[in-house]
Amino acid sequence: MQIGFKALEAQFGIALAQPLRVESVIGTTRLSRESPERIRNQYPGVYRPADTFAGHFEFGLKYEEIHLEFFARLFAACGPGPLEQWCRAEPFGQYARRAAFFYEWLTEQRLDVPDLTGGTYVDAVAGDAYLTRTEAVRERRWRINNNLPGTPAFCPLIRRTQALGQALQFDPFGAITELDRQFGEDVLMRAAAWLTFKESRASFLIEHEADQTDRIKRFAHVMAEHSGRLEEPLSSDSLTLLQKGILGERALRLGVRRSPVFVGQATIRDDIVHYIGPHFSALDGMLDGLKAFEQATRGREALARAAAVAFGFVFLHPMSDGNGRIHRFLISDTLQRDKAIPAGVILPVSATITSVREFGHGYDRVLEEFSRPFMRRYDTAHRFAEMLTYEDGVRSNLVFDAYEDAKHAWRYPDLTEHVIYTAHLVAHTIRHELAEEARVLVRFRLAQQRIKGVLEAPDPDAVRMIRSIKENGWRVSGKLAKEYPLLDDKALALRVIEAVQSAFEDREPLPIIE
């Protein structure tokens, strides 16, 4: 026998975009089976709740997971009656109060129940089980500490699972400080300067625009100029500023979109839709909710905030263009804003995504964590019809018939897996991408010094020789020899090659017998 939220889902015929992860049943013994996607818990008969709305909802609040999309759909289906009946029967019961609070918060409709005049305050959600706002807001009507991290218009949830706790143990600032100690702050800052451009180039590669040199430079400038420095990065003005910096002054469309949007791919026959974004009329409220989340959670774990802000943004897909690049900008921006990484350090997370198979596939996987079940739920609700021109000048023939129904899914995403992925991504980027670039710079400096021990060469010439010799497999090319006739002397050329090669191989130069 199913109990808890699954029982109410079946009773009221709720169809979710993001399925309930927990299924509770009554059996003979206490058992639990868990996979990454699902948890099935079996309870002995003494746990059996009353077969009522209140009985199953209370059981769910006690033993299962908070699922705001489910709550919103359930309350729309059941109406206020079951909640009012429960509150009258148990006016001071904490589970009745929490259920009533969730009803009014999500529906913005008042139950026909008097305010509580006494009693202790209880948290809306458990702080040890979910990422909550830094300071709870007291709701006197229900004696509830509203510690939800967002607003009814947009409130992502992040479950404090064991995997998430382990991922959040990584300390970005401490790891970078250790690299400072190992390589020197000046080397690390030079590495960071180069990696800003590398991050820009890799970010465009993700968007299949790696050959757009001018746009790559623009995005690198945006990263260096604005990361951690905008007063409100999610305000309309800030987003337009970022978009303009990325796309350039001559971009066709700037600002929050006023047209439908989908993410997909074109084929010779048709467009394949992988994801549909919210209706443009709902974007302002949802962006305000995301902004409220960013403000309300300040002081919480920076990696969790960075992931939620960035992935929350990309699922809203609010801009006409540049959403992916702004999404990845927001990761470094939030980490800098929270002082989780030093000012001026741009983490090349896009470079990790494009160069490390594990993170490239992982990026697609966490995007699909939300988009795949969403599209399964709404697979038949979209089509292509007459081409229309919208307020922002975009021409689109996408028709989506379920904007109103889908709003609960867009508003209340579970971003737990996205936080875990981002924490691992940042850790790998610092430990490998940033550290390796610092190593390269140290070797490069050493190669310059060793060349100058062989011949007198200004820095630009030494740099030219190092690059050419390394790129040509530790050989002097004909072009380089023509540019520097001294290298026609084979013995001298061998000494120059050995100076460069030994530096990059972390060893002492071998003696060259002339």
Residues 401-440: pLDDT tens digits?
999 999 999 999 999 999 999 999 999 999 988 888 888 8
305 has pLDDT over 90: yes
What distance in Å separates the CA atoms of residue 363 and residue 429, rounded to the nearest whole number? 14
What distance in Å separates the CA atoms of residue 250 and residue 483, rounded to the nearest whole number? 41
| Three-state DSSP state, 224 | helix
Number of C-beta neighbours around residue 424 at 10 A: 19
What distance in Å separates the CA atoms of residue 201 and residue 193, rounded to the nearest whole number? 13
Question: What does pTM read for this prediction?
Answer: 0.88
Residue 445: per-residue pLDDT: 87
151-193: per-residue pLDDT in tens?
A: 999 999 999 999 999 999 999 999 999 988 888 777 766 665 5
431-448: per-residue pLDDT in tens?
A: 988 888 888 888 888 998
What distance in Å separates the CA atoms of residue 342 and residue 352, rounded to the nearest whole number? 19
H/E stretch holding 52 = none
208 has pLDDT over 90: no
Helices (H) and strands (E) counted in the chain, each on its own, are 21, 11
82 has pLDDT over 60: yes
Mean pLDDT, residues 506-510? 87
Residue 352: per-residue pLDDT: 85
Residue 221: per-residue pLDDT: 74
What distance in Å separates the CA atoms of residue 455 and residue 491, rounded to the nearest whole number? 12
Rounded to the nearest 5 percent, the helix, strand and coil shares of the chain are 55, 10, 35
Beta-carbon contacts of residue 363 (< 8 Å; ≥ 6 apart): 206, 353, 421
Is residue 62 within 8 Å of residue 24, measured between CB atoms?
A: no
Tokens representing residue 85 in the block: 């009946």
Residue 181: per-residue pLDDT: 86
Tell me the Ramachandran region of residue 260: left when phi exceeds 0, alpha when psi lies from -120 to 50, beta otherwise: beta
Mean pLDDT, residues 297-308? 97
Q: How confident is the model at residue 105 (pLDDT cuts 50, 70, 90)?
A: very high
Residue 1: per-residue pLDDT: 84
Is residue 126 within 8 Å of residue 81, measured between CB atoms?
A: no
198 has pLDDT over 60: no
The whole-chain average pLDDT of the chain stands at 90
Q: What length is written for the chain?
A: 514
What distance in Å separates the CA atoms of residue 399 and residue 417, rounded to the nearest whole number? 30
Mean pLDDT, residues 340-353? 85
Residue 436: per-residue pLDDT: 84
Mean pLDDT, residues 313-333? 90
Mean pLDDT, residues 376-387? 94
26-38: per-residue pLDDT in tens?
A: 999 999 998 878 9
Residue 191: per-residue pLDDT: 63
Is residue 253 within 8 Å of residue 240, measured between CB atoms?
A: no
136 has pLDDT over 90: yes
Is residue 434 within 8 Å of residue 179, measured between CB atoms?
A: yes
Give the phi and the psi of residue 19 in degrees, each rounded to 5: -60, 155
- Select the more confidently predicted residue: 220 or 458: 458
Residue 252: per-residue pLDDT: 60
Most distant CA atoms of the chain, gap in Å: 99
H/E stretch holding 397 = strand 395-400
197 has pLDDT over 60: no
210 has pLDDT over 50: no
Measured over the CA atoms of residue 137, residue 142, residue 144 and residue 148, the dihedral's sign is negative
Mean pLDDT, residues 2-9? 97
Number of C-beta neighbours around residue 508 at 10 A: 9
Residue 207: per-residue pLDDT: 57
The domains of the chain, with CATH numbers, are: 163-434 (1.10.3290), 453-504 (no CATH)
